[in-house]
Amino acid sequence: MTDAARLRQIPNLAQIPLVSPEPLDDPGADDPAAMVLDLRLPHDDDLPRHLAGFTFFWLRYVWGFRAQYHCASCLAGRYDMRVSATMPLPARMVLDNRYPYAYLCGVASSGIWANNFHLPVVYAAGEQAEAVTYHGVRVRILNAQEVPIPWIEAGWNGFPLSYTTCRNWQFGVHAFGYCGESPTADELSRPEWRTQELADLAWKRQRMRLSLDEVRAALRAQRHDADVRDEADEPDEPDEPGQGYILEHRLEYEEPPDW
C-alpha cells in the first residue's frame, strides 16, 4: 500500500466521534506563580472534545537520561497521568515545577515524523512557551521557558540514526550529557527520512513562524536540490525522490482536520 493510500485510511479529527468530555480545569491554574499547561482547540468557539490525531501524547517530569535507549525510554522521570492521547480539550492544569524539566511530547498517528510534537520546558517565572500541534491544537505553558533541542550529527559516538535523529534522545544528550553508554536498540527501517532540515521546518511551523504553504515551498526546494545532486553524482541511475519530496507527497494527501 502506498503512503498516500495509507493516509487516506487514517481518520482525521472530523471523523472522530464528538463526545463532550468533562472539562479539565485545575483550580490552581489561577495562581500567577504556577507553571500551567493550557491546551486549547484551534478555534475559541469549538465545542469541547477529546484530543485525537496522536498515537501517544504525554508529559513527563524529567530528572535524568539513559543514553542506551531512545524515544521516551531514554528519559528518566515520571509521567503526568492527566495528559494522554485522548485527554479532554480544552484543558488547564498546574504542572509540578520541582523537577529540572517538563517535556510535552506527541507522536502523530499519521506516521509522519515531522508532525510529531516536542516542547521541553523549564520553570521560569513570568515567561511562557507557546506552540501549535500539526492539526491546530494551541499549546501554552505559563511560567515556563522552552528548552531548545540541538541537532546531533549522524554517526555521533557510533550511535545509529534511530538514536541521533530521535528528538527525545537529542534533548537528553544536551540536557544531561553523555556518559559512554552503548546503544541497545536496532536501527530504524528508514531513518534517512529524518533530517535536520525537516526538524527545523517542523519546529518553525509549530511555533507559528511558517505557514503550511511556506513549509511546502521549502520542501519542494529540498526536492529540487536533491534531484540536482542525484543527477550530478549518478547520472546513469534512475531518478529517486528526495527526502523533501517524500514528506511533501505525504502532506499533499493528508486531509486537514476539521474541528
Percent of the chain with pLDDT over 70: 74
Parent domain of 119: 3-187
Give the integer Cα–Cα distance in Å for 89 and 2.
33
Band of residue 223 on the pLDDT scale cut at 50, 70, 90: low
Lowest-pLDDT choice from 22-36, 87-101, 173-187, 217-231: 217-231
User: What pLDDT shows up at residue 195?
Assistant: 81
**Residue 252, domain member (yes or no):** no
User: What pLDDT shows up at residue 71?
Assistant: 92
**Residue 48, domain member (yes or no):** yes
**Residue 243, domain member (yes or no):** no
Cα 60 to chain centroid, rounded: 14
User: What pLDDT shows up at residue 198?
Assistant: 84
Band of residue 186 on the pLDDT scale cut at 50, 70, 90: low
Residue-wise pLDDT for 100-135, tens only, equals 999 999 999 988 888 999 999 999 999 999 999 999
The pTM score is 0.77
Band of residue 47 on the pLDDT scale cut at 50, 70, 90: confident
As a whole number, the mean pLDDT across the chain is 81
Average pLDDT over residues 219-230: 64
Beta strands in the chain (DSSP E): 24-25, 35-40, 49-50, 54-65, 75-79, 88-89, 91-95, 101-108, 117-132, 138-146
Length of the chain: 259
**Residue 233, domain member (yes or no):** no
Question: Are the C-beta atoms of 131 and 117 separated by less than 8 Å?
Answer: yes
Average pLDDT over residues 129-154: 96
**Residue 237, domain member (yes or no):** no
Band of residue 96 on the pLDDT scale cut at 50, 70, 90: very high
**Residue 239, domain member (yes or no):** no
Comparison of pLDDT for 1 and 64, the residue scoring more: 64
Number of domains in the chain: 1
User: What pLDDT shows up at residue 241?
Assistant: 32
Comparison of pLDDT for 6 and 86, the residue scoring more: 86
**Residue 85, domain member (yes or no):** yes
